[in-house]
Structure 1
């Protein structure tokens, strides 16, 4: 496996991870807003 392909896989995974984090954060913020 090349280093380039490994980097591509890692970046793809990190993008999904960041997206999931942002979604969970926005979801929590919406809940907080509704509670207030």
Structure 2
């Protein structure tokens, strides 16, 4: 069960990173188009 917890943590970190990158890209685009 330990591996499942580790995999879940890795997936959460990856999802958080992708979400942050997407938000940052959208913010930059909005700022540029403003």
Matches of 1:13 and 1:20, distance apart in 2: 11
Matches of 2:23 and 2:2, distance apart in 1: 31
Runs of at least 4 residues of structure 1 off by over 3 A?
none
Report the TM-score, using the length of structure 1 for normalisation: 0.87
The CA RMSD measured in Å over matched residues stands at: 0.5
Aligned residues: 34
Question: What stretches of structure 1 of length at least 5 have no aligned partner?
Answer: none
Question: What stretches of structure 2 of length at least 5 have no aligned partner?
Answer: none
